[in-house]
């Protein structure tokens, strides 16, 4: 046998494999989502997301301390208000859970980067990401929602958010938020655009976590069709033109081709969101003894990075950081 080319030569030892490794995962790449619930002394586990809990602001310190200790640089905040209404007015309440959490985290850990998710679905009684034409009327109105998203963004910027991340998938939301922030003197606050966000079954557990299940219909008139890759690039182009500072593809695992395509065509920093369903699937398989949790998580995160993401939003941030050191 005269095989001259043998790729196995470079796989013989751990050190050799390390030398030729193309992608490395780093704790500095990770962003940890947090669910902030209105009220006091609340730490309510989320059934469909083992290891995750809704936290009230007064219970945040320990969580923030442990993230800092692990070297996680950033958190992504979602709010769960005590009261919801048709407009989602809790989203721009300056005394709401997210602005309060921002202030508390800034006091405790001034260097932690705070990303504020901006959407109405956690705050509307109907659970949609924008306002409706009338009670129970399915059409989500685009342009009237823009002003509300801008208002919510301003409330979070004022509270001290480092990055504003609009996830409602309304057309023109980046431009509307940019204009609102600039007019109020927040021209230095960057926008991380959920540029290509797909209408995904993998958001199921999140809706329990954020209490944001639509009361009727679904999100397919505003979130993207999972079948569309070219349209994702169109969405990204629009957000770049509207002034996005950073881009996001969501979900991550089933959309690695989109991450790669965006990476190849755009120079802006790119985040990918390993969403609730991706987390829940690994957790469930691991709980059954069907999968090695640590290896599966590190492999999935490495694959997202290999596809081209600079940053990864993941509910596994803390566990992955612990495994990485
Ligand atoms: C809000 C929002 C959602 C997620 C992030 N922001 C839910 C949705 O669009 O239905 C999902 C995140 C996850 O599943 O982890 N619009």
pLDDT of residue 292: 98
* pLDDT at residue number 116: 98
- Would residue 4 count as lying in a domain? no
Q: Which residue has the higher pLDDT, 49 or 139?
A: 49
- Ligand 1: which of 35, 49, 205, 206 to mutate, judged by most atoms within 8 Å of the beta carbon? 206
Residue 13 domain-assigned (yes or no): no
Residue 6 falls within a domain, yes or no?
A: no
Count of Cβ atoms closer than 10 Å to residue 279 Cβ = 24
| SS3 assignment, position 33 | strand
Q: pLDDT by residue (tens digit) across 39-77?
A: 999 999 999 999 999 999 999 999 999 999 999 999 999
307 is a domain residue: yes
> Do 195 and 249 contact (CB within 8 A), yes or no?
yes
Query: In this predicted structure, what is the pLDDT of residue 134?
Result: 84
Mutational pocket test of ligand 1: of 149, 202, 210, 254, the residue with most ligand atoms within 8 Å of the beta carbon: 210
Ligand 1 proximal residues by C-beta, below 6 Å: 117, 119, 121, 129, 167, 203, 206-207, 219, 275-276
- For residue 121, give the CATH number of its domain: 3.20.20.70
Is 251 within a domain? yes
Separation CA 164–CA 193 (nearest Å): 8
Whether the predicted pLDDT of 137 surpasses 90 = no
Mean pLDDT of 21-29: 98
pLDDT single digits (tens) 299-314: 999 999 999 999 999 9
The reply to whether 53 falls in a domain is yes
User: Which ranges of the chain does DSSP label H, i.e. alpha helix?
Assistant: 14-19, 60-70, 97-108, 142-159, 173-183, 204-210, 230-241, 256-265, 276-287, 293-307, 317-324
Give percent above pLDDT 90 in the chain.
Answer: 95
Query: What total number of domains does the chain contain?
Result: 1
Domain span at residue 154 reads 24-324
Q: What is the mean pLDDT of the chain?
A: 97
pLDDT in tens, 161-212: 999 999 999 999 999 999 999 999 999 999 999 999 999 999 999 998 988 8
Question: Is 46 a domain residue?
Answer: yes
Contact 132/87 with Cβ under 8 angstroms? no
Model-level pTM? 0.97
- The answer to whether residue 288 is domain-embedded is yes
pLDDT (tens digit, 9 = 90+) per residue, 246-279? 999 999 999 999 999 999 999 999 999 999 999 9
């Amino acid at each position: 046998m005269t095989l001259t080319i043998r790729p196995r030569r470079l796989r013989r030892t751990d050190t050799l494999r390390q030398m030729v490794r193309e992608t490395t995962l780093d704790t500095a790449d990770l962003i940890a989502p947090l669910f902030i619930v209105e009220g006091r002394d609340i730490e309510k586990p989320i059934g469909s997301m083992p290891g995750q809990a809704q936290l009230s602001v007064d219970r945040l310190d320990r969580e923030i301390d442990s993230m800092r200790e692990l070297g996680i640089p950033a958190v992504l905040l979602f709010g769960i208000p005590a009261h919801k209404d048709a407009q989602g007015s809790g989203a721009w309440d300056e005394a709401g859970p997210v602005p309060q959490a921002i202030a508390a985290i800034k006091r405790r850990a001034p260097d932690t980067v705070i990303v504020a998710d901006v959407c109405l679905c956690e705050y509307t009684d109907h659970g949609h990401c924008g306002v409706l034409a009338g009670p129970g009327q399915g059409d989500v109105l685009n342009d009237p929602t823009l002003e509300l998203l801008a208002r919510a963004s301003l409330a979070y910027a004022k509270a001290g958010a480092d990055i504003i991340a609009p996830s409602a998938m309304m057309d023109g939301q980046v431009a509307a938020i940019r204009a609102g922030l600039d007019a109020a003197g927040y021209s230095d606050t960057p926008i991380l655009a959920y540029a290509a966000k797909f209408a995904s079954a993998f958001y199921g557990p999140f809706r329990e976590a954020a209490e944001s299940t639509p009361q009727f219909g679904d999100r397919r008139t505003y979130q993207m069709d999972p079948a569309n890759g070219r349209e994702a690039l169109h969405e990204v182009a629009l957000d770049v033109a509207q002034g996005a500072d950073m881009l996001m593809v969501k979900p991550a695992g089933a959309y690695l081709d989109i991450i790669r395509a965006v990476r190849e065509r755009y120079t802006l920093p790119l985040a990918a969101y390993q969403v609730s369903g991706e987390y829940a699937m690994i957790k469930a398989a691991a709980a059954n003894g069907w999968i090695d949790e640590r290896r599966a998580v590190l492999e999935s995160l490495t694959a997202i990075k290999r596809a081209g993401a600079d940053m990864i939003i993941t509910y596994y941030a803390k566990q992955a950081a612990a495994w990485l050191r």
